[in-house]
Homo-oligomer: A and B are copies of this chain.
Amino acid sequence: MDSAIRQLHGFFSPRSVAIVGATKKINKAGHVIFKNFVENKRRGVFKGEVFAVNPNEKSIFEVPSYPSLKDIPANVELAVIVVPASVVPIVMKDAAAKKVKDVVIISSGFGEIGNHELERQVISIAKKAGIRLLGPNCLGVYDTRTGVDMLFLPETKILTTGDEVVATPRPIPGDIAIVTQSGAFGVSALDYLTGRQIGISKFVSFGNKSDVSETEMLGYLLHDEETKVILLYVEDIKSGREFLKTAAQVTMKKPIVALKAGRTEAGARAAASHTGAIAGQDKIYDTVFEQTGIIRARDMEEFFDAGKALAMQPPAAGNSVGIITDAGGPGILAVDECELKGLVVKRFSDQTIRRFEKMKEEGKIPKFATNLNPVDITGSGTSEMFELVTEVLYEDPEICGIIMLGLHHTPALQEDYIDRVARVANKYDKPIVACDIGETEMALHTRSRFDRLGIPAYSSPEDAARAMSALVKYGQYLQRAGCFAEYMREFAKSKHK
C-alpha cells in the first residue's frame, strides 16, 4: 500500500477516531455517529479507539469527552466533524495541530449554499497540514466489515400508529462498493440494497468533494480486497484527465457502473443548482464512460441490477445470448429487450437444435416445446427439463450468456429446479441471470434462492435482459482492453475461495 492509499484507508479503518460534536442529545447527528462507533467497539467490530470531543460534556456513554481535539491524550487518526459550519475552521486548526490524518466533515453550510469562502478556508487548512478531507456536506463512510459507521439518519421511525419501523437500514457485507456524490441517493441505495439482500463492502458519500474526489476513491477501491464491483453515482466529474486514467486502470480489474444524473439539459440545470455541477456536457460523459469501460446505467434500477450481475457472474465472451423459458410471452419480452440493448438472440446452431429435437423424441422435453431461441419448455416444464436444457446451452460455444426465465406458477415446476440449474452453471464460466415474475412468497423465495446460489435474479424479463447486457458490455470492454482472460482467471479464483 503506498502512502496516499494508506491515508485514504484511514477513512475506512482508522486505529483511532474522534467525533467532534459528539452529544448526548438524541436524534442529533453527533449523537448517532458517536453511538455507532461506541456500540460497534463494544461488539468487537470496530477495533480502534473512540474519543468524544464536546466542551460541554465530561463523558458520553461512559466514554470521556474532551474540550477539543488537542486535549485528547492519544493519537487521533480520523476526526469526524459534526459541528456547525462556522466552527469548522477552528476544529480544522485543532486537527492540524493534533496531526490528524483524515477528516470527514459531515456538517453542511459550505459551498452548496454559497459559502464558498468558508469552504476554501477549510480546504486551505487541510492542504497545509497534509490532512485528507471527505465532504463537507456528506454522509461520510459506512464499512460493513470494520464497524466504521457515520450514518446519522434515524435507523427507525415511529408511525402514527405508534409502531416503530426500520427506516434506514445497513446492508449485509458483500462485494459492492457504493461511491456517491448525493447523500440522499446514497441512503436510498442502502435501503434498496438491504431489501434486495445485496451485500456491500464500503459506502462513501463525498458531498461537496472539496478534497477527496470520486477519482481518488476509485483508485483506492482498486486495491480494496473486499470490493469486486463499484457503483458510482455522480452529478459531475471535475478532474477529467485524472479520472480517465484512474477509471481505465480500475475497469481492467473491477467493473464500474455509473449513474450520472443530469443527462438532459433540464436535469443538468437542476444538478447545477444542487451541487454547482457544470451543465450541458452530458455527451462528453458518454464518451468518457465508453473509453474507460464504465457501464452507464440508464436509471436507478438498472444501476443496482447491473451491479448485482457483475458481482455475481463473470462477463460474457460475446454478445450472443440464449434464453430458456417456461413462458412464451415473457420469453419474447426478454428477446426484445436484449436486441434493443445491442445483444443478439439468434436462432440456435443446427447442432443445438438437433439436440433439442432428440430430447423431444426421447420424451425428455415436451414435443411441442419451441427450440429456436428462446427454448420454451412450456407450462409442462419440470425441474429435470430445466436442468437438461441449461446444460445444452452451456455446451453450445456460440452462446455467450444465458437468461433463465423460470416462472414458478406452472403446476409441474418444483423449487429444486433452482439448485439443479445452479449446479450446472457452476461447472462453466459463462454468465447466467434469472427471472421470476411476481411478488408472492414463492416468487420472492425463488429469486432469493437464485441469488444465494450465485445466480442474480430479477423480477421482470427486461430487468434480466438489461443485467445480461451489462455482463456483455463489460466483457466486450475487457476484450478490447486485452485483459479478458486475466479477469476471468481472477474471477474464477475469487469464486472458489
Contacts and interface: CB of A to CB of B under 8 A. Distances in A.
Contact of A328 (B184, B264, B335, B379): B184
A165 B445 contact: yes
B437 A188 contact: yes
Interface in A396-434: 407-411, 414-416
Interface in A327-350: 327-333, 335-340, 344-347
A326 interface: yes
A196 interface: yes
A284 interface: no
B263 A336 contact: yes
Contacts of A335: 264, 266-267, 270
Interface stretch (A5-13, A244-252, A271-279): A271-279
B194 A379 contact: no
Contacts of A45: none
B154 A411 contact: yes
A166 interface: yes
Nearest to A371: B273
A167 B442 CA distance: 5
Contacts of A376: 274
A361 interface: no
Nearest to A438: B191
A403 to B, nearest CB: 12
- Between A159, A340, A367, the greatest number of chain B beta carbons within 10 A of the residue's beta carbon is seen for A159
A21 interface: no
A11 B300 CA distance: 42
A443 interface: yes
A305 to B, nearest CB: 11
A346 to B, nearest CB: 7
A160 B328 contact: no
A188 B439 contact: no
- Between A27, A160, A347, A367, the greatest number of chain B beta carbons within 10 A of the residue's beta carbon is seen for A160
B300 A262 contact: no
Given A300-B461, A332-B274, A439 B327 contact: no
A199 interface: no
Given A153-B409, A154-B411, A335-B266, A330 B442 contact: no
B235 A332 contact: yes
Contacts of A235: 329, 332
A261 B184 CA distance: 36
Interface in A178-194: 180-185, 187-188, 191-192, 194
Contacts of A166: 440-442
Interface string A165-180: 1111100000000001
Interface string A355-392: 00000000000011010111010010000000000000
Interface of A: 27, 109, 112-113, 153-154, 156-157, 159-160, 165-169, 180-185, 187-188, 191-192, 194-196, 233, 235, 259, 261-267, 269-271, 273-275, 299-301, 326-333, 335-340, 344-347, 367-368, 370, 372-374, 376, 379, 407-411, 414-416, 437-443, 445, 459-463
